[in-house]
């Protein structure tokens, strides 16, 4: 598949609407094409942020339909338009997000969110999206919605905002996608809500699964999940051909609850509550499940919850 074909189908890929074979071809292309992968990551994070937002009236189904319609409109526009430079359509997605807020949510007061660097061990790099530049994170500065933070080997960062604490382990990458919402791309974080009745803090992955930490202390990481994928295809003679099953690997959130509780929300809004002493994760369909933890040690690399 050519890059132009890939980019026209990125909305379907982000929404999980592709069949197994075209999805496999796209995944193979994205693994070797940096430009297309950048476009994919951007649109997946946008869709994830929209879906992870707390559903309001009208229903979640209408919200999902609006997201799908906007992305299909982008795909049609990309097909009809002549080739353009990289990332020129990103303002269209941003406009779609703004439009969705206007049509699918009641009036609200805009809120901002920032976290102070409470402690910093080693090196971490911050992408300031307002300027598009990377720079080393420094002690006592603030990280805001829209920023991206990456920790280097041996680093640990603690961030604090009111009753919320977030630790980043080494070699971890997160995006601050909304108020009280972060997207985990790589590595491990520890999240704590230290005051009863405080708002939940949400951590999502690229598959739109979400862990909501309502109280207590929870370690959240990404792990590889394997699944056997089979199928069939028709030949020109009308004969069905059964290809060999193959293994697909996807990364899913794993939540280990030290204290309090966490709510696991699957990509189709399936929900399950994990209690202290339990570990929860998601399967390929976004279905959450929990088991008891055999290892009681949760985020030993994270420090004290006190600033």
> Which 8-state DSSP code applies to residue 198?
P
The candidate with the shortest Cα–Cα distance to 67, out of 86, 89, 48, is 48
- Higher pLDDT: 147 or 16? It is 147
pLDDT of residue 83: 43
The CA distance from 151 to 167, in Å, is: 11
Same domain for 198 and 91: no
- Higher pLDDT: 219 or 233? It is 219
Same domain for 211 and 125: yes
Q: Is residue 122 part of a domain?
A: yes
- What is the model's pTM? 0.60
Average pLDDT over residues 12-32: 77
The candidate with the shortest Cα–Cα distance to 257, out of 206, 210, 215, 307, is 215
Q: Which of 71, 104, 137 is the last residue of a domain?
A: 104
Please give the C-alpha separations between residue 213 and each of 49, 223, 253, in angstroms, as whole numbers.
17, 19, 13
Q: Is residue 299 part of a domain?
A: no
Side-chain-side CA neighbours of residue 155 (13 Å):
22
User: What's the number of domains the chain is made of?
Assistant: 2
Same domain for 261 and 199: yes
Residue 37 and residue 71 in contact, taking contact as beta carbons nearer than 8 Å = no
Same domain for 148 and 80: no
Same domain for 95 and 21: yes
Same domain for 126 and 26: no
Q: Which of 51, 86, 104 is the last residue of a domain?
A: 104
Q: Is residue 239 part of a domain?
A: yes
Same domain for 248 and 135: yes
Q: Is residue 120 part of a domain?
A: yes
Q: Is residue 301 part of a domain?
A: no
Residues 141-174 as b or e (16 or more Cβ within 10 Å = b):
eebebebbbbbeeebbbbbbbebbbbbbbbebbb
Least confident residue range of 52-56, 162-166, 224-228, 285-289: 52-56
pLDDT of residue 119: 94
Residue 199 and residue 258 in contact, taking contact as beta carbons nearer than 8 Å = no
Least confident residue range of 244-248, 264-268, 272-276: 244-248
Residue 73 structural domain: 3-104
Average pLDDT over residues 177-192: 94
Q: Which of 79, 104, 129 is the last residue of a domain?
A: 104
Same domain for 272 and 123: yes
Same domain for 173 and 83: no
Asked if the model's pLDDT at residue 268 lies above 80, the reply is yes
**In this structure, what token pair is assigned to residue 122?**
């080693």
Asked if the model's pLDDT at residue 100 lies above 60, the reply is no
Q: Compute the Cα dihedral for 119, 263, 288, 38 and give only its sign.
A: negative
> Which 8-state DSSP code applies to residue 209?
-
Residue 262 and residue 274 in contact, taking contact as beta carbons nearer than 8 Å = yes
pLDDT of residue 7: 78
Asked if the model's pLDDT at residue 216 lies above 80, the reply is yes
The string of pLDDT tens digits covering residues 104-156 is 445 444 468 999 999 999 999 999 766 778 999 999 899 999 899 999 999 99
Same domain for 118 and 77: no
The CA distance from 36 to 13, in Å, is: 12
Residue 281 and residue 262 in contact, taking contact as beta carbons nearer than 8 Å = no
pLDDT of residue 160: 95
């Amino acid at each position: 598949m050519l890059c132009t074909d890939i980019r026209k189908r990125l909305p379907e890929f982000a929404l999980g609407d592709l069949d197994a074979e075209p999805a496999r071809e796209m995944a193979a292309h994205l693994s070797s094409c940096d430009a297309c992968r950048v476009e994919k990551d951007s649109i997946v994070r946008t869709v994830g942020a929209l879906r992870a937002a707390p559903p309001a009236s009208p229903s979640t189904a209408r919200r999902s339909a609006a997201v799908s319609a906007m992305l299909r409109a982008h795909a049609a526009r990309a097909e009809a338009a002549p080739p353009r430079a990289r990332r020129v359509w990103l303002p269209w997605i941003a406009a779609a997000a703004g439009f969705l807020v206007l049509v699918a949510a009641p009036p609200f007061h805009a809120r901002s969110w920032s976290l102070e660097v409470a402690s910093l061990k080693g090196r971490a790099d911050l992408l300031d999206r307002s300027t598009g530049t990377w720079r080393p994170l420094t002690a006592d500065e603030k990280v805001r919605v829209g920023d991206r933070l990456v920790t280097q080997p041996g680093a640990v960062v603690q961030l604090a905002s009111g009753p919320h604490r977030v630790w980043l382990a080494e070699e971890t990458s997160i995006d601050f996608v909304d108020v009280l919402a972060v997207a985990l791309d790589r590595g491990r974080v520890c999240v704590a809500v230290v005051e009863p009745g405080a708002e939940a803090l949400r951590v999502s992955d690229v598959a739109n699964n979400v862990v909501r930490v309502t109280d207590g202390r929870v370690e959240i990481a990404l792990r590889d999940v394997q699944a056997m994928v089979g199928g069939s295809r028709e030949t020109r003679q009308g004969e069905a051909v059964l290809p060999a099953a193959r293994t697909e690997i996807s990364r899913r959130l794993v939540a280990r609850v030290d204290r309090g509780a966490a709510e696991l929300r699957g990509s189709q809004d399936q929900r399950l509550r994990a209690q202290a002493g339990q570990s929860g994760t998601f399967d390929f369909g976004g279905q959450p499940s929990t088991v008891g933890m055999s290892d009681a040690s949760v985020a030993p690399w994270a420090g004290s919850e006190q600033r």
